[in-house]
Amino acid sequence: MTVNFQYVNTDVSETLSKFTREKLEKLADKFEFLISAQVYIKHDDKDHDAGKICNIELSLPGPRIFATSNEAAYEMAVNATISDLTRQLKKRKEVFKIY
């Protein structure tokens, strides 16, 4: 699975990219039909309590799956987004048939 990162209003972080890539690889091992992931890491200056935003869009057969979260730390935002994607992928896998 190919993973593309875009950092918006924040510095590029190799550690965060590696952390996110490891989480997505675990997801790809569980759901073998994933094609690619587009990860957007954003910082919102207006939200002082949270403001660390992670958007992930997964490409797979059929409609794309998208999840976002806004947390106080980037790692927490990535974890929340991945858990939301996992829930959506489980629903998709129930109706998905491999011929």
Residues 61-72 have pLDDT tens digits of: 888 999 999 999
65-71 own/partner pairs: CB under 8 Å, 24+ apart:
65/89, 65/92, 70/44
> What is the pTM assigned to this prediction?
0.89
pLDDT at 74: 93
- Rounded Cα distance between 13 and 87, Å, is 27
pLDDT at 17: 94
pLDDT at 57: 97
How much is the mean pLDDT over the chain?
Answer: 91
pLDDT at 98: 58
- Rounded Cα distance between 19 and 87, Å, is 20
- Rounded Cα distance between 89 and 61, Å, is 12
